[in-house]
């Protein structure tokens, strides 16, 4: 008898490229699309309300924001502002949830029936999920500033990140440059060459330090545009003679029960795809000295993304094959592996 399939939380009408969870508002924000190609696949950002109903996570579509010909490839969240990477530009969006009064009968009916379409929805809207919202609330989205953040022969923004107080955001992409912008004006305040080739990920620390990882196999720590040090994850870990690894992702996380404590987490993957792939690795670093604390293998499926829960307790890993895994941040011990989006979201809400 095969493994029981986990219940589906949400199915987007477009290819998904980015997810963000807003625990304070109980929102799941999903984005993607078909790009500028005239394939009939729309581009959009979906805002979903998350609820626990009878012990099970449920998602109801609040709003579908049309991004016209631009697919959103990466997202960062700062309060009610989203930074969306769309081709070679960054678009700032502001969203607000407006509550509506409902009587108890309507609320009970909503819980019993699960996902609900708004009254009067057309068949096309029902099919695509556009402009739907659960009874009792609606969400509105406003386009703010937009700016080109990447340049070169094939420009593409690959990552965006806010600083700790949401006054700045940093972007990186295919041209290897880091650019830092004021929020919400998107006035550029810093620009420097960080890597030869693509910047795969970046993370801003609360002390102003910036960590970048790139296609050139390097992970670097910066203070503004000054290089402080390079990270060396194999210093106290595994060594390989014939298998080059590169850094795929980096994230800062709080140390539970230590208000001023900070950890950096990175993922290392084989630089080249091999017929018999070696394992990927997860490394925890001291957030002040940037020395490696511990490194653990995290499976042979290639890791594509890394997230840290708001409490700093859990790490979430996503793979190129669509599976997800949850690890304990302190020990890097794996606690859950699944191919289900809802399990990943649940772990990051803890």
Which pLDDT tens digit goes with each residue over 77-118?
A: 999 999 999 999 999 999 998 776 554 444 444 443 333 333
Would you mind telling me the total number of residues written for the chain in this entry?
350
E-assigned strands of 125-234? 137-148, 157-162, 168-173, 177-182, 188-193, 199-204, 209-214, 219-223, 226-230
> What pLDDT does residue 267 have?
97
Supply the pLDDT for residue 241. 65
The CA-CA-CA angle for residues 300, 330, 219, to 5°, reads 60
Measured distance CA(219)–CA(292) in Å, rounded: 13
Tens of pLDDT, residue by residue over 165-183, are 999 999 999 999 999 999 9
Q: What is the pLDDT of residues 47-59, one digit of tens each?
A: 999 988 888 888 9
Give the start-to-end residue ranges of the domains of the chain.
16-99+138-302
pLDDT band at 71 (very low <50, low <70, confident <90, very high): very high
Tell me which architecture the domain covering 16-99+138-302 has in CATH: 7 Propeller (2.130)
């Amino acid at each position: 008898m095969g493994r029981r399939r986990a219940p589906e939380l949400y199915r987007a009408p477009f290819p998904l490229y980015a997810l963000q969870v807003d625990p304070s508002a109980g929102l799941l924000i999903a984005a993607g699309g078909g790009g500028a190609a005239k394939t009939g696949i729309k581009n959009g950002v979906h805002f979903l309300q998350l609820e626990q109903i009878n012990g099970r996570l449920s998602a109801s579509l609040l709003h579908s924001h049309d991004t016209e010909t631009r697919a959103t490839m990466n997202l960062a969240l700062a309060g009610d502002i989203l930074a969306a990477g769309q081709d070679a530009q960054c678009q700032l969006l502001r969203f607000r949830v407006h509550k509506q009064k409902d009587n108890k009968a309507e609320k009970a009916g909503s819980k019993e029936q699960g996902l609900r379409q708004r009254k009067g929805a057309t068949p096309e809207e029902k099919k695509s999920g556009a402009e739907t919202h659960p009874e009792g609330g609606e969400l509105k989205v406003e386009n703010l500033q937009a700016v080109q953040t990447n340049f070169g022969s094939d420009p593409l923004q690959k990552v965006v990140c806010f600083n700790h107080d949401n006054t700045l955001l940093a972007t990186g992409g295919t041209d290897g440059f880091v650019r830092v912008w004021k929020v919400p004006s998107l006035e550029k305040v810093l620009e420097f060459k960080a890597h030869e080739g693509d910047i795969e990920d970046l993370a801003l620390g609360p002390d102003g330090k910036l960590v970048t990882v790139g296609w050139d196999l390097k992970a670097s720590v910066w203070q503004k545009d000054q290089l402080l040090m390079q990270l060396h994850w194999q210093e106290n870990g595994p060594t390989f003679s014939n298998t080059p690894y590169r850094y795929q992702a980096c994230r800062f996380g709080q140390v539970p029960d230590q208000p001023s404590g900070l950890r950096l987490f990175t993922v290392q993957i084989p630089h080249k795809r091999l017929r018999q792939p070696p394992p990927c690795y997860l490394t925890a670093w001291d957030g002040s000295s940037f020395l490696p604390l511990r490194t653990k293998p995290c499976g042979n499926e290639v890791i594509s993304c890394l997230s840290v829960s708001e409490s700093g307790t859990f790490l979430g890993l996503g793979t190129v094959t669509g599976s997800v895994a949850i690890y304990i941040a302190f020990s890097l011990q794996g606690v859950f592996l699944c191919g289900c989006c809802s399990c990943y979201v649940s772990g990051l809400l803890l």
